[in-house]
Amino acid sequence: MRAVTFTTAGLGLAVLLAGGVPAAARSPHPTGTAALAAYENQHLTWGACSPAQKELRAAGARCTHVTVPLDYADPGGRTLRIAVSRIRAEVPADRRRGVLLSNPGGPGGTGLAYTLALRPALERVAGAYDLIGFDPRFLGESSPLTCDPARKPAEPGPTTTPRRDFEESLAAAREDARRCHARGDNARLLPHASSRNVARDMDVIRAALGERRLSYYGVSYGADLGATYAQLFPRRVDRFVVDSVTDPAATQYEQFQRSGRPAEAALDEWAAWTARRDGTYHLGRTAAAVRHRVEALLARAERRPPRVDGLRLNAPLLRMILKQPLVQGENDPTAAAVVRDLVAASHGRPVEPGPELARMIALLKSPELADGMLGGVLFMCGDGGWPAGGWPGSPATYWRNSQRSRATEPVFGPFVNGMTAPCAYFPEPPREPAVTIGNDVPVLLLQARRDHTPYRDALAMHRALRGSRMVTADIRGHGVYGRAVDGLDPVPCADRAVNAYLGGGGLPREDVTCPTARAARSGPRR
């Protein structure tokens, strides 16, 4: 259930499917309800889900495609087909609450089966809703957009410098932008990959299902998407839960930058945990000693990248590898085992990587990695601002920020401040600005206090969603609801709050801080 981190997003290999617009939608008035009537009233034909959706088929789900405009300013033009799944409510019609849509985050995550994954966490609430999953436009089975195949990246040489690593990241970003725009008519399609348009697609799904209002759960990027929908369609919101949000006023690049400080704090927390287990990991008896090992590992890699399992790992790759497990506190043993292997390799000792590091290296070797990660890029670049997505257009800005960050964020600063997306090389701006969030729609907002997404950013979203109530969990994690489904330590009071709300109860009267595991017996603090 957690949002996509060190996994591929899976763009799919099919060619973009575009059909003709329903005749009634060919209106001289490109905006407004009348122009979209044919989409909102379209007949849906439900059938077996595709063979790739084995879990949905086993659960008895049915699937269909909903037709939406490529460009909502031109509803009589080109169309897309959005893949939608449905598991019908189990209760009698008079007790049915409606439909519950969901999005797993990413950005770039496919979600056709995601509501099915939520079902164990929803418990008895699940049966009161039609559970609706969907793949956002251009992803998965929703008119998937593909780019030219990625070239096999050149392996880092035996010696390097921070500047050389930086220049290679610029070249990779430039190449990703080129190969994505070179395929077919992608250059015409990419400006329409935006959260605003995905939210509009969600509302067409709602209308095509014959529902007056929509209930929703979204995590990470899916939470921001839920806030976007609530802003655009406030009268269509029923029960909305947004889990692990960002500052709605920040650009994508600013969000990346702001994750550096909490990542450094997570490293310190992990270092203290690891120091108490020096007999197992041999990385130092104090938190300061463990941190020094990590910083020394990176300093050596910025001169001589270590080779592990046939792959040479430069400092940018190491920073990415180190950041992923630290997101969840339950991954501290994984992080310690990975660092132990990497430190040994950096000293020239032969290393047989443990299962955690071996899995990461196998992913880095995968030819599909670069293609899969582009799923997130589509929406990072399409959400307003210029250059695309609000990413700075000057390489000097990234270099200057990454170097300045070393003073206070020596491990992760260069990674989160450097060039991480090809958006700056997109030739055209997004069609529309990003959505400005500010309303009093009732929303339940969840946030972990020690998330890599800064807690102050969640407070900014809370202020923008004036009708929201916020449930805070004092954990290191990304995603608060339903954690037990992923084998993580649950936050029972957050799970109860979500299920009570989705089950028909009201929002909490006040914001709630869930107790830590030690204080769980005393109940939540208000």
Instruction: State the catalytic residues.
Output: 220, 451, 478
SS3 (DSSP) at 65: strand
Calpha distance 145→185 (Å, rounded)? 10
- Residue 193, φ and ψ in degrees, nearest 5: -90, 95
Task: Report how far apart, in Å, the C-alpha atoms of 119 and of each of 126, 481, 482 are.
Answer: 6, 12, 9
**Do 188 and 73 meet the contact criterion of CB atoms below 8 Å apart?**
no
Calpha distance 460→48 (Å, rounded)? 43
**Do 479 and 3 meet the contact criterion of CB atoms below 8 Å apart?**
yes
Q: How much of the chain is in helix, strand and coil states, percent to nearest 5?
A: 45, 10, 40
Q: Are strands 443-448 and 237-243 parallel, antiparallel or unpaired?
A: parallel
436 CB neighbour count, 10 Å cutoff: 11
Calpha distance 407→515 (Å, rounded)? 35
**Do 350 and 162 meet the contact criterion of CB atoms below 8 Å apart?**
no
- Residues 6 or more apart whose CB falls under 8 angstroms from that of 508 comprise 444, 469, 471, 497, 526
- Residues 6 or more apart whose CB falls under 8 angstroms from that of 348 comprise none
Plot region of 310 (φ>0 → left; ψ -120 to 50 → alpha; else → beta): left
